[in-house]
Structure 1
Amino acid sequence: MIRVLIVDDELLLRSCMQQILESDPDITVPSTCDGAQAVRAVAQHRPDVMLLDLKMPDVDGLSVLRRLPGRGSDGHRPATAMLTTFSEDEDVLDALEAGADGFLLKDSAPEQLIHSVKVLADGGTVLAPAVARSVIGGFLDGAARNRPAAVAADGAAGGPGVALLTDREREVLGRLAEGLPNADIARELCVSTHTVRDHVSMILAKLGVDNRVQAAVMAWRLGLAPAPRRG
């Protein structure tokens, strides 16, 4: 059973999303809350996935994301997708740097919402096409060239981290950048999901990035996977 925490300041939206998600027998939503309660709710309910509104009064999504325990620490950090209306490119890039695992538009279709939660729970990446175009615009055109993730991406082609990747790790990275979850990558490469998880951990460490989305940006730059088309 996939445990999901929904964090949004609009009670009606939270209720609607909860109903949609719990229509799937594999998903449960133990709690919904606003930004002020989010960090405590994560510690209490230990969700597998958190859907986090990017724009909220008082405590916004970026603040919540930055207050979560770091990966590899003793605290619990769920796979987190930011909910956005895609009106602020700057916030999308900030969320990427803060460790967001994906970006969903608030008007996503119900079936897309359910699918995205399952992909995140399996270690995959979800990027709404409009948000992917923002990431491409910001990182590939150099609009965010002074940002840490962009600097890493700028040096990727000749950087030591990329040179350390094995052929198999490059294959995994290419599929990761296509948004495939671990189970799908494992099927395509005829290996176990445990092996894929190990490869992903090594890829992130070698590239010096925090999550799969940042690794995907680097893969797009390297030509290991086709970048989403810009509008």
Structure 2
Amino acid sequence: MKKNILLVLVVFLCGACSDFLNMPPKNTKVVYTMEDVRGAMSTLLFATTSSSYCKGYLSSPVMFNGEYVQYPFTRRNNVSSILYTNDLDLENFLFDDFANPSRGGQNFIKEYGEIKNWEGYLFPSDLWKEVFVSIGYINMVLKDLENVPDYNKTDYERIAGEGRVMRAYYLLRLNQLFAPYDKDEYGIPFNFDADVVQGRKRWKQTDLYKTLIGEITDVLEYETVPEESWNIFF
């Protein structure tokens, strides 16, 4: 009986070892097709046009690295910017539609409480995160696009044009909001490498603008006509 049990155990282990050895190594690179990459960019565009500050309203929110992907410069950020100015009747803004807070200013009471003392945290921290979630996603898409086995110029330029213009616009807006206008050495940190996720040092603003202008100039030389039903930024 013991010999039979031992024999079964050996056969099981040998079979398990065989299955294990036949598994693809974890560091094997997945090769994506042009359609895969287009689908990934379509997902980002869906998030850009369909997401809102109230992410719970989405039945199928788009996620990347555990974070929601959405258009960063939503009404929340525009309103938070206005709260730093004298261009808003704050009392009417905060309480004019008390019965329906989603349409009035009730959703921004926390931001107002911080900003009135120039101690804003929610607005800048959320905006910073949301922009770089999208930038990381775009970096990933563009990296995969460079390695597709079924390259064709039309799809390539429509996808690359969309990603590069969107990325440049997001970085431009972020720099405008966070970089001191009179200190060239204090631009925002960023990179275009999908494999680099840790923070980098700040760029000089002149170098940042030079890089973004180069990106847009390259895209302007694309010969492919944008697809009106798909492209948004390109």
Larger Rg computed on CA atoms: 2
Q: Is the TM value for this pair above 0.5?
A: no
TM-score w.r.t. structure 2 length? 0.23
More strand as a share of residues: 1
Bigger relative contact order, structure 1 or 2 (CA pairs below 8 A, ≥6 apart): 2
TM-score w.r.t. structure 1 length? 0.23
